[in-house]
Each structure stands twice: as C-alpha cells, then as structure tokens.
Amino acid sequence: MTPKLRMSYAVSTLIVSSVTTFLLPLDYTVASVALRDIHRDFSVSFSDQQWVINGYTMAFAALLMAGGGLADLFGRRKIFLSGLAIFTVASLLAGLAPAMLWLNVGRAAQGIGAAGMFSSSLALLVQEFTGPRRIHAFAVFGVASGLGASLGPFIGGLAVDLGGWRWAFLLNAPFGIAMLILGLLRTRESKDPHATRLDLKGLVLFSGAVLLAVYSIVMAPQIGWTSRTIIATLAAAAVLAIAFVFVELRQTYPLIDLRLFTQRTFLGASLAPLVLSVAFWGLFLYTPLYFQGVLGYSPLQAGMAMLPFAIPLFGAGPLGRVPGSDHAGRRLRIQITAPRRWSPAR
C-alpha cells in the first residue's frame, strides 16, 4: 500500500498562521467599501456606521495583550484556535445581522477573536521554525498581513458588487472553518514554562488605558478634542497607563517586561512596525471612503484603485532576507529571552 502523505506540522502551522493573518487586516479594510451599502439597508447615521469599523478596532486593541498573557499561561494553540472559532462565528453573525446592533456586536466579537489569533500566531511559528527557516516563515507571515490590508478594499468591493455588503463578512467563514480544521489536526501546543499566573492587575490597567485612548481618538472628530468627555477619557487613559508601568515593574511575571525597551535592538524592532501601522492602516481604511463618497466610485472601482499599493508587498518579504539577518535574529532572540532571568523590583 502507498503510504499516506502528511503535511508537516511546520508547514501546516505556517499556512494556518499566514491565512488567518491575511484575514485579520482584510476584515479591517474590507468594511470601508461596504459602509455605503450598509447605510442603504439600515438607514443609520454616519456615526453609527463608523462603529462597524471602530467596534472591531477597539476590541482588538484592548484585548491583544490579554490574548498574549492567556496564551502563555493556558497554551498558544488553545487561545489561537479559540480566537479563530470566535472570529468565524462572529463573521457569520455580522454577515447575517438583521439590524445594525447585531452587525456591531458581530464586529466587536470579530475583534475579540482577532486578538486571540494574532497574539498567538507568531509564537506558534517560533516553535516550529528555527534559524534561516524562521526568517523565511516570518517573511511569509509579514507579506500575508500586508496583502490582507492592501487587497481588502478590492476583495470587499468585488464581494459587495457581486453579492451585497453581507458577503464582505461572510467570505471569512469558509476560510475560517478550513483553517480551524487544519489547526486542530496539524498544529502543536506550546506554553511559556515560566508562566504561573495571569497578571490581572496589568491586564485590567493596560486594556482600560488602550480602550479609553482608542475611544477618545475615535470620538474626538465628532464631539471635539476640547470637549469634557474627550479630555476626561484621555486623562483617565494616561493615569491607567502610568499605573500600568508602576505595577509591571513590580510584578514577578509581568504582562510585558518593560525592561525590554531599554535594549536598542528590541526598541528598533518595535518602532518600525509602529511607524508602519500609523502610516499604513489609515490609508487603506479612509482612501476607499474618499473614492466612493467624493469621487463617486463604485465599491469595486474603489477597491481596484487601491490595488497598486499591493504591488510592492509581493517583493517586500524576500528583500527582508539579507546577509547578516540570521545573526541579527539570533541576537534579538537572546536579548528578548534574557529578562526572564532578572529579579523583579520589589
């Protein structure tokens, strides 16, 4: 008998991580081309429409760190697959929503699931890949994320033109189910052996600070940056952020070891994606709205107008594989793991 061919755990983990990472930014940008058609069905105000995007963003941002802490404690695979299951069911809820309220609930639930998926996916890759193969895997992972953002308006526009706005969310379901099955069958569990408990104080403080900060940024254009509500929420976010720093410096097992930011290699590796996100994500969210609302493009035309931004991303991953990158990657990994041996401040 011919032996059955089985996909390796490393390859299947890369596929699951990359496809789901493609879906997360896709689901963020795909909504931008569907808003006009959503307004036609539900006849809600523009501020209500914005929560289709903001609900997803706020839930994702506030719970991302929580997902990482839970993954270290209970298992990265468990949190990843749980997040994927929530994301898939929430996509169905959003696509089948009978009213605006249920659409917003579905979008917020998508953000919760996305936080669990994204916070665990890289850790799953780290377990399966080492050396130069890890760098190649990270390149594929990064390109998948960028393409999800840049192709989101086009895929969303195509879905809206062919089947209506609901398909902009329903298209996640078959991919989510397929990746959930593959993840259950061909991915392996991993935990942080140093994780003994969840840093609840840090989790509450960080999530609260991020939630209030994002809420302030979202609402300020509507009610004004000088309004009492915005000033109060920004001040509360600042207080929670400062309290988070003090609490984390005294934790035996902190949610994030803040001493990492004293290392230039880690700081540089963190600043690069931060700057990229600030300059990158807003472009793919609001430019399709401008194309539709001001220039009168159809959803498909708006999506096609965004396609040129995707072209550089196809070559960005391979270009990241440069001489000396293996040594830099090893040095970064050593520096990241070193703080685990430090004694916390008392």
Q: Is the pLDDT of residue 240 over 50?
A: yes
Nearest in space to 256 (alpha carbons), one of 244, 243, 274: 244
- Residue 111 and residue 60: Cα distance in Å, rounded? 4
- Residue 141 and residue 286: Cα distance in Å, rounded? 25
Q: Is the dihedral of CA 339, 344, 60, 119 positive or negative?
A: positive
pLDDT tens column, 288-298: 878 887 888 88
pLDDT category at 305 given cuts 50, 70, 90 is confident
pLDDT at residue 314 in the model: 63
pLDDT at residue 164 in the model: 87
3-state secondary structure of 256: coil
Residues 6+ apart with CB under 8 A from 96: 166, 170
Residues 6+ apart with CB under 8 A from 183: 12, 16, 77, 80, 81, 84
Give percent above pLDDT 70 in the chain: 87
The residue count of the chain comes to 346
Provide mean pLDDT across the span 66-94.
Answer: 92
Give this prediction's pTM: 0.82
3-state secondary structure of 224: coil
- As a whole number, the mean pLDDT across the chain is 81
Provide mean pLDDT across the span 217-231.
Answer: 87
pLDDT at residue 315 in the model: 61
pLDDT at residue 337 in the model: 41
pLDDT at residue 321 in the model: 54
pLDDT tens column, 316-329: 655 655 444 444 44
Q: What is the DSSP string of 166-223?
A: THHHHTHHHHHHHHHHHHHHH------TT--S--HHHHHHHHHHHHHHHHHHHHHHHH
pLDDT category at 12 given cuts 50, 70, 90 is very high
pLDDT tens column, 160-207: 888 888 998 999 999 999 999 999 998 999 887 777 778 888 889 998
